[in-house]
Copies of this chain bind each other. A is one copy, B any other.
């Protein structure tokens, strides 16, 4: 596979190594990354990249500013070193929730980040399960957008849960469409957790719209889990409504703050996330299970490098 070079930022070296293994590339590209004593990043690419098709793998997970800046500096290095094409690979695209102005005098940081990546010199972007699909339009360079849903669905399919006994739960009104997509693949009924407060002092009440839940296995789907507060509240509501098992699934395990404690304390049987983010050891609850997206990313990189269709990877039903 001549001409292809895959480098890893420091955010998720393990994932990059797995990708390279699937690509049957001898090893991840050699690069020296670090920080000077004053915290400024340094970067020196050790392999030759002149004329190469370069992929830079770096989820912009926490510490997001460090990881983003490292990515931008890697792009600048490759551009000035005359790489033919630079693809920024962001298995997780941070700042994606700041994708609109729903208040006065706030930024649209997701667009800012898109502009910074392009300005630094990326020729294209490969990412996965953006918080909002519209973020693709924040770029003028081509974006290939992958979906972890088939990998997550396969996990539950392999567990052998029967559709008749299943309820797919959206943790809030905004995620209803995503939940519905999983219903289409896994079967089961649809329920939505409606977190409206009925009075200013009332913080715990959560209604459930749809269902039924009683006596069923519930799977709550979200795109990412950060502090796990929302997902744990939803799990409690579902459990209270009579679910016999509660599973949580998300593409991105951001897991910050007291996420582990909350998950451990909540009536949750398992939490499934992909390896898009390398989760800190202290956040690794025993309930946490991983499915890998390395083959997915590797296949996409292989197809991009060989000018083969990405949409064929998903058939007619992503």
Contacts and interface: CB of A to CB of B under 8 A. Distances in A.
A304 to B, nearest CB: 8
A76 B98 CA distance: 12
Contact of A76 (B48, B74, B108, B179): B108
B45 A254 contact: no
A69 B71 CA distance: 13
Interface string A65-105: 11011001110111111101000000000110111111111
Contact of A104 (B63, B108, B310): B310
Given A180-B173, A184-B196, A209-B210, A77 B105 contact: yes
Interface string A260-303: 00000000000000000000000000000000000000000000
A121 B115 CA distance: 11
A39 interface: yes
A100 B138 contact: no
B77 A107 contact: yes
A109 interface: yes
Nearest to A134: B134
Interface stretch (A15-23, A140-148, A157-165): A140-148
A38 interface: yes
Given A82-B142, A109-B73, A65 B50 contact: no
Name the residue among A42, A48, A108, A116 with the largest chain B CB count within 10 angstroms. Answer: A108
B137 A105 contact: no
A49 interface: yes
Given A73-B109, A119-B119, A310-B104, A142 B81 contact: yes
A311 interface: yes
Given A115-B120, A120-B112, A145 B101 contact: yes
A309 interface: yes
Contacts of A236: none
Given A81-B142, A134-B135, A135-B134, A76 B112 contact: yes
Contact of A40 (B109, B179, B308): B109
A177 interface: yes
Interface of A: 36-46, 48-52, 61-66, 68-69, 72-74, 76-82, 84, 94-95, 97-112, 115-116, 119-121, 124, 132-138, 140, 142-145, 173-174, 176-177, 179-180, 183-184, 190-192, 194, 196, 209-210, 226-227, 254, 256-257, 304, 307-312, 318
30 contacts: A37-B226, A38-B257, A39-B62, A40-B98, A42-B106, A43-B106, A50-B309, A51-B307, A68-B69, A72-B112, A76-B111, A80-B143, A82-B144, A104-B310, A110-B137, A112-B120, A115-B119, A116-B120, A121-B140, A134-B135, A173-B176, A173-B177, A174-B176, A176-B176, A184-B196, A191-B209, A192-B192, A192-B209, A192-B210, A210-B210
